[in-house]
Chains A and B, each alone.
Chain A
Amino acid sequence: MGRTLWPLFVVVGLLRSLALPGAPSPVTGAIRGRVDVRAAAAPPEGRPDPGGLGMAAPREPLDRRRSVVYLETAPRAAFEVNEERRVRMTQQHERFVPHVLAIVAGTWVDFPNNDRTYHNVFSLSKAKDFNLGRYAAGKSKAVRFERPGIVRVFCDIHSHMSAFILVFAHRYFAVTDDEGRYRLDGIPPGSYTVLVWNETVRGDPPRRTVTIGESGGDVDADFSIR
């Protein structure tokens, strides 16, 4: 069987090599813009604690305006991610920092505990369920996220702690900055659907169709989330 099929493997290999990231790409463009989210920053929602004997420490407001902009379908080259990536989501002042993290599938996420108390990071999401158990300040545990999807992260001890990890199969995504701006670079010419994820959006995410011309260049796409 190996003898009869080897020419086919060679042809497929040659075709794949044309799409590798290292191969010269004649023209690419970028999609940039701003996501305007009207949700106000609010303290993290802790459950009322009638069993408590005193005030909980004041909590910093949670910025719910942070969004993730991504392409619904990406060019083939986008899936060729070979290097092992590693990012971190810190537990600090009873918050996950950052509150929203976007990664490519296969990325390791470190969860260091920078607080004086225990935390217990866990998720029951379909894309990745895990439970890191209780570990103290200065310790860290890591999780590899292999499957694309939205992973909701919680602390089993502090019900007001939550975060989102968006796992993508490709690399065409960006988390908006403090001003709501984003930029997706290195996109080959073509027509794409751009979507926006924001935790305040219920139902279908806002979307727009954007075309990168044959000559490349930047294309603007702004979004508004009420």
Chain B
Amino acid sequence: MAIHPPEVKIWWKEPIHSIEIWWVLIALVWSLVMFVMMPYWHVYGEQNLSNEAYRVTPEYFGEKVEEMVDKYTIREEGDTGIPVVAPPVGSDVFLLGRLWEWYPILELKKGESYRLHLSSMDWMHGFSLQPTNINLQVHPGYDFVVTVTPNESGKFAIICNEFCGIGHHTMVGRMYVTE
């Protein structure tokens, strides 16, 4: 029994149950398939995160955001007048998270690619784009660059899904994708 020392003292020389051998082999093959799927998707899949990230200070990142907002704001929204920014196709687009808002509102074009920069001004935040369901971690001090290509148009919410204090549940941003 499993609560007694093995009866056969040289247990490591015992032959293995054939069902066990088969199962180990099948499971090992499946494990290898699951490993191969990840590099495979990097080659053939369209949803892969970049390896591009930079160390930044919140001040520097904040300036980059303001530069973009000054140049490309098209209107304002919400009670607090959050700028809606329509940056040129293919450009560097900046989005910051801070207690407790995403800033600014971005308006992108469907089917076009943008270099989206994400960073936090203070604590850790979670970028959760809904309802499409893309979830990325946003750190203070790191500029995370992801090239995004929207494949649907409409109004999207950016929900913070990393706990960031008592106002966490009010941290909802917006993003538009136009045809």
A and B associate: no
Q: Identify the B interface with A (CB < 8 A).
A: none
Q: Identify the A interface with B (CB < 8 A).
A: none
